[in-house]
Amino acid sequence: MDYEITPEQVRAKLDQQESFTLLDVRESWEFEAARIPGAKLMPMGDVPSRAHQELDPEDEIIVVCHHGLRSMNVTVWLRQQGFDKAKSMRGGIDAWSRQVDRSVPLY
C-alpha cells in the first residue's frame, strides 16, 4: 500500500470536500509561519501520547510536515498503531507552497 499522497491530490480532496484529517506534525512556530487551512496541529513529539485520544483509526489521515521526512516517520508509526489509512503528503508544506498554493509562505 502506498504511504504517500501528492500535494495536488490533497488539494483535489479539499476541493471535493472529501472527509479526512489533515494532521500537521510540525512545531507550533512552524504552524504559525505557514499552514493549510483546516489542518490539526499535533507536533511530532506529541503524537504518541495524543494519537489514540484525538484521532480516529477509521479516518483517512494525511500527515504534513515541512519537507516530508517527519510526516513519513509519523505515518509509518500510525500505520503500526492500526491507523491503516494514514498517508504522508510528499514534499510537505514546502511543496504545497510551491506547487499548490503560493499564498502559503515559504520558510
Handedness of CA 76, 96, 32, 105 (dihedral sign): positive
State pLDDT tens for residues 86-105. 999 999 999 999 999 999 99
pTM, entire model: 0.96
pLDDT number for residue 26: 98
HEC profile of 22-64: EEECCCHHHHHHCCCCCCEECCHHHHHHHHHHHCCCCCCEEEE
Domain regions of the chain by residue span:
4-99
Largest distance between two CA atoms of the chain: 35
Q: Which member of 36, 62, 65, 100 is catalytic?
A: 65
Specify the CATH number of the domain 4-99: 3.40.250.10
- What the block records as the C-alpha cell of 91 is 514534499
Q: Examine the residue annotation and report whether 38 is marked as an active-site residue of this protein.
A: no
